[in-house]
């Protein structure tokens, strides 16, 4: 049996959304699933017990950052990320490609890989498909990513085609270099920006290589939501039904619902944790700026419909005080709540899919949350 495999259990009659089971060496997970981001072997401000409570047991680590600090060889010596951070559940790592390509002013792309400079020290560094896979082998996640280029969404046809051709070549090199295919599932990444022809070409070529799962990269990178949704609707019709589909870097409530409607099985994003550290909370009535002066004397819970530890224990007034005082506890409590909110949202999405009413759920949620048409 492969390291990761996917069982499609039900397709929503209203939307075509997929309910399934993702099997990994460290747990089986109902999909669609949202995966909290633990960039540096930590979901910021939370300990593993708390991460268990606000996730479904599958989280991310970041290859680029862990390679640079403390180093993948050191982490390997601790038994991988799992042993290093004392996380007993499943993990996914990215390839480092997105971080490298975001350093557009200080990097040089060659066929061999990418030369770039450390984002803080300025030290010269080099990352190739083989190096990315070797680092991820050391980090030991259940699911790992191919090293790819993330081109601008609206790049020219010539640039996009050349970029995707290189991504496909790099994907094959990474696939051949992968040392642990029986314990770590390597996903191919579908690139192509806003060009549907190139997206299909990329997917077709990656399928020839034979990955156990496919990620969608290069979305939520500055394009409009309409452009992103249009591309997801297209990819829904051509991606293999028997393999998991992972939309990278997307995690707002509306995107999770519409992404699920378009056949996505896996999501991740720093949005809920980053928002929390800046004092913004997700609630059933929409987003709340917790330091708003109107909450100073509010004795009610952050979200009356939420039964997480934060909402059943603390008042808005106390959370307002913590955030305005820039207390670390305020960041911790809002991080806990935001992730719990998305975990509960995904459970509602899965239930709606199984009951063939995801479109109805979307309309109900959008109305209550305050999203406009």
Element at 80 (helix H, strand E): helix 80-85
Of the candidates 365, 249, 335, the one whose C-alpha atom is nearest the C-alpha of residue 53 is 335
User: 260, 358 in Cβ contact below 8 A?
Assistant: yes
Of the listed 56, 72, 255, 268, which one is catalytic?
Answer: 268
Element at 53 (helix H, strand E): helix 48-54
Of the candidates 56, 54, 51, the one whose C-alpha atom is nearest the C-alpha of residue 29 is 56
CA atoms within 13 A on the CB side of 100: 26
The residue behind tokens 């980090």 is 139
Residue 211 and residue 204: Cα distance in Å, rounded?
11
Of the listed 56, 94, 255, 265, which one is catalytic?
Answer: 94
Residue 358 and residue 168: Cα distance in Å, rounded?
35
Provide the 3-class DSSP secondary structure of residue 100. helix
Catalytic residue flag (residue 94) = yes
User: 345, 366 in Cβ contact below 8 A?
Assistant: no
Residue 249 and residue 216: Cα distance in Å, rounded?
9
Cβ neighbours of residue 263 closer than 8 Å, sequence gap 6 or more? 16, 17, 18, 232, 235, 236, 239, 245
Kind of pairing, strands 266-269 and 33-36? parallel
Residue 50 and residue 137: Cα distance in Å, rounded?
27
Of the candidates 111, 135, 136, 115, the one whose C-alpha atom is nearest the C-alpha of residue 125 is 115
For residue 344, count CB atoms less than 10 angstroms from its CB and return exposed for 0-12, middle for 13-18, buried for 19 or more: middle
Catalytic residue flag (residue 165) = no
How many CB atoms sit inside 10 A of residue 185's CB?
27
Token output for 198? 């190139």
Catalytic residues: 94, 268
């Amino acid at each position: 049996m492969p390291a990761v495999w996917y069982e499609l259990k039900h397709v929503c009659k209203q939307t075509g959304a997929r309910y399934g089971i993702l099997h990994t060496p460290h747990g089986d997970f109902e999909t669609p699933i949202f995966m909290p981001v633990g960039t540096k072997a930590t979901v910021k401000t939370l300990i593993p017990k708390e991460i268990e409570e606000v996730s479904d047991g599958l989280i991310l680590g970041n290859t680029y950052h862990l390679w640079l600090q403390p180093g993948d060889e050191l982490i390997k010596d601790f038994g991988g990320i799992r042993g290093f951070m004392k996380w007993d559940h499943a993990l996914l790592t990215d390839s480092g490609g997105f971080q490298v390509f975001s350093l557009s002013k200080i990097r040089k792309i060659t066929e061999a890989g990418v030369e770039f400079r450390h984002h803080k020290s300025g030290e010269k560094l080099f990352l190739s498909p083989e190096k990315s896979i070797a680092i991820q082998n050391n980090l030991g996640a259940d699911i790992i990513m191919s090293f790819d280029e993330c081109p601008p969404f609206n790049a020219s046809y010539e640039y996009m085609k050349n970029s995707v051709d290189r991504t496909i070549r790099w994907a094959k090199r990474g696939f051949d270099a992968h040392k642990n295919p029986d314990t770590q599932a390597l996903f191919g990444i579908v690139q192509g920006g806003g060009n549907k022809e190139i997206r299909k070409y990329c997917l077709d070529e990656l399928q020839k290589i034979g990955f156990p799962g496919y990620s969608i990269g290069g979305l939520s990178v500055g394009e409009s939501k309409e452009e992103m949704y249009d591309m997801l609707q297209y990819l829904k019709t051509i991606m293999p039904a028997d393999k998991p589909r992972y939309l990278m870097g997307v995690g707002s409530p509306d995107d999770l619902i519409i992404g699920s409607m378009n056949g996505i099985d896996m999501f991740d994003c720093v949005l809920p944790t980053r928002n929390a550290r800046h004092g913004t909370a997700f609630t059933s009535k929409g987003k709340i700026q917790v330091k708003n002066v109107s909450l100073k004397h509010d004795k009610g819970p952050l979200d009356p419909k939420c039964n997480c530890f934060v909402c059943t224990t603390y008042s808005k007034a106390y959370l307002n005080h913590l955030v305005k005082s820039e207390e670390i506890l305020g960041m911790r409590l809002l991080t806990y709540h935001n992730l719990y909110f998305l975990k509960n949202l995904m459970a509602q999405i899965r239930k709606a899919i199984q009951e063939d009413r995801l479109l109805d759920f979307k309309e109900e949620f959008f109305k209550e949350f305050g999203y406009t048409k």
